[in-house]
Amino acid sequence: MDKAKTLFMTFLSSVASTQRLGINLIRVAILIIFVWIGGLKFWNYEAEGIVPFVANSPFMSFFYAKSAPEYKMYKLKEGEFDEVKHQWHTENRTYLFSNGLGILIMAIGILTFLGMFSDKIGLIGAGLAVIMTIGTLSFLITTPEVWVPDLGSGEQGFPLLTGAGRLVIKDTAILAGAWVLLTDNANRLLNKIR
């Protein structure tokens, strides 16, 4: 029994010694997710896809020229092109806003990653990532398209998430990771100051 306990303790010690690796892997994961998703914001299909979230948000809808729910008549499937709908999105500033958002998301991802090398930069990046993911999670309250609609099956509303809702709810993991990084950078800065 003592040998088993020793092996278990060795295993626990080995795993515990990789905590810094785990924290840095969160930084790399946020970098990949934010740069990739931010880069997609330069593609029309992605810009068109975020319209329901932005148009219904009390914090972001002012970026668009048209108000909700007008966008519903101009929805496009991913990869679909319709000149009239495309023109509406151009007039709505859909693409312009999406490009700006893409730059912001990529910048946050890069700043968060740089926390591996600079505690101050990482603190800023992780703080912005926390704020951004809280904003994204607010879509669960403001965007009707995140909940299954009543189409006759009897299965609708909370807690039944649509594809859009499932996309948003995943940000709880990003929020948790960003918070770990925020506290890591804050602790490292405190240790330097003390």
pLDDT in tens, 93-129: 999 999 999 999 999 999 999 999 999 999 999 999 9
Mean pLDDT of 76-97: 96
Structure tokens at 57: 């948000």
Summarize pLDDT for 151-185 with one digit per residue, the tens.
999 999 999 999 999 999 999 999 999 999 999 99
First to last CA, the chain: 44
For residues 3 and 136, give the distance between their C-alpha atoms in angstroms, rounded to a whole number: 49
Look at residue 132 and tell me whether its pLDDT is greater than 90.
yes
Reported as a pLDDT band with limits 50, 70 and 90, residue 14 is very high
Whole-prediction pTM value?
Answer: 0.91
Q: How far apart are CA 152 and CA 118, in angstroms?
A: 54
Give the model's pLDDT for residue 194. Answer: 82
Alpha-carbon dihedral angle through residues 110, 116, 119, 121, given to the nearest 10 degrees: -10
Task: Compute the distance between CA of residue 137 and CA of residue 100 in angstroms, rounded to an integer.
Answer: 20
pLDDT-based confidence at 1, cuts 50/70/90? low
Residue 154 DSSP class:
S
Average pLDDT along the chain: 96
